[in-house]
Amino acid sequence: MRNLFNFIIRNSHWLLAALLVAFSFYLVFTHNSYQRSVYLSSANNISGWFFSVSKDIGSFFHLKKNNQLLLEKTAELEKEILALKDRIDLLTVSDSLEMNAFVKDSASLPQFDFIPAEVVNLSFAGANNFITLNKGAKHGIKPDMGVISTQGVVGVVSNVSRNLSVVIPVINPKFRLSARLKNSENYGSVSWDGTNIGEVQLGELPKHEAFHQGDTVLTSFSRIFPRNLIIGFVSSEGHSRDDNFNTFNIRLSTNFYTLQDVLVINDTYHEEQKILEETLQR
SS3 sequence of 81-123: HHHHHHHHHHHHHCCCHHHHHHHHHHHHCCCEEEEEEEEEEEE
Q: What pLDDT is recorded for position 161?
A: 94
Provide CB contacts within 8 A for 249, sequence distance 6+.
199, 200, 201, 234, 235, 236, 237, 238
Q: What pLDDT is recorded for position 163?
A: 93
**Residue range 91-147, pLDDT digits in tens:** 554 444 444 444 444 444 578 888 999 999 998 877 789 999 999 999 999 999 999
Is 70 within a domain? no
User: Which is higher by pLDDT, 184 or 47?
Assistant: 184
How far is Cα 70 from Cα 186, in angstroms, rounded to an integer?
36
Is 244 within a domain? yes
pLDDT > 60? residue 15: yes
How many domains, the chain? 2
Is 69 within a domain? no
Look up the domain containing 49 and give its range: 2-59
pLDDT > 50? residue 64: yes
Percent of the chain with pLDDT over 70: 65
Is 109 within a domain? no
Is 25 within a domain? yes
**Residue range 17-28, pLDDT digits in tens:** 777 777 676 666
Q: What is the CATH number of the domain that holds 248?
A: 2.40.10.350
pLDDT > 80? residue 252: yes
User: Which is higher by pLDDT, 256 or 73?
Assistant: 256
Q: 132: which strand partners?
A: 121, 166
**Residue range 193-227, pLDDT digits in tens:** 888 889 999 988 887 777 788 899 999 888 889 88
Is 36 within a domain? yes
Is 191 within a domain? yes
